[in-house]
Amino acid sequence: MGIRYYGWPLRTQADFERAVDDPCATSYALDRREAAIDDENCVGLDKGFRVLLDYFLRDWMPGPSADSLLEVAGPPGSSALATMATPDRCHCIDERQINVLPRAGALLLLGDVLYSDGYASWKPYYGIVPAEYVRLAADDYARVDLAELEKACGEADGLYCSGLFEPFREAIQRFTNEGAGFFYSIR
């Protein structure tokens, strides 16, 4: 069977608090409740969540261009530009102390199970996402071209992931329209 991704809307503050307090029990309660409302409220990405996460994390933040360095540092030949262009320009921090938030679409995909016993077993991962962030992800998902997604995910995974992503995107937009947060498990 393997590891799968499942998600449900968090419709109330009480839903959100229960998810934080007991995510395992909440996942089962939400699954039953949402299936009774509409089967499409129980969203799944099967095993494709990892490929989709890679898609939303890849190349999302361009490196500094020569033009942006010039805007910050001054004209060519200036000592400020030479200082900025050197990789050792900042000695006050360690690279592990820099955190750049991911592209908004990744916010509903981050995480993975915690393996133990040499990958023989695992503990689930739970993501609890407030409504404001679900809206950001929905806006990002709306901009995804499915043909480009298929191409970016590669021949083996492209059709599989776009087939999973399209109904996922529609559900997330529906949850956003309802003002819901989002709760997901990777288990």
DSSP secondary-structure letter at 127? E
The predicted model gives 62-91 an average pLDDT of: 48
- Single-letter code of the amino acid located at 98: I
Tokens of 132: 């404001």
Tokens of 41: 């409220």
- Single-letter code of the amino acid located at 182: F
- Short-list 7, 44, 1, 4, CA closest to 23: 7
pLDDT bucket at 156, cuts 50 / 70 / 90: confident
Contact 117, 149 (CB under 8 A): no
CATH class of 5-61+102-186: alpha beta
Contact 124, 19 (CB under 8 A): no
- Comparing 20-29, 72-81, 137-146, the range with the smallest average pLDDT is 72-81
- Short-list 103, 92, 127, CA closest to 6: 127
Q: Domain boundaries in the chain?
A: 5-61+102-186, 66-96
pLDDT bucket at 183, cuts 50 / 70 / 90: very high
Give residue-wise pLDDT tens across range 82-139: 444 445 556 676 766 667 778 999 999 999 999 998 888 999 999 999 999 999 999 9
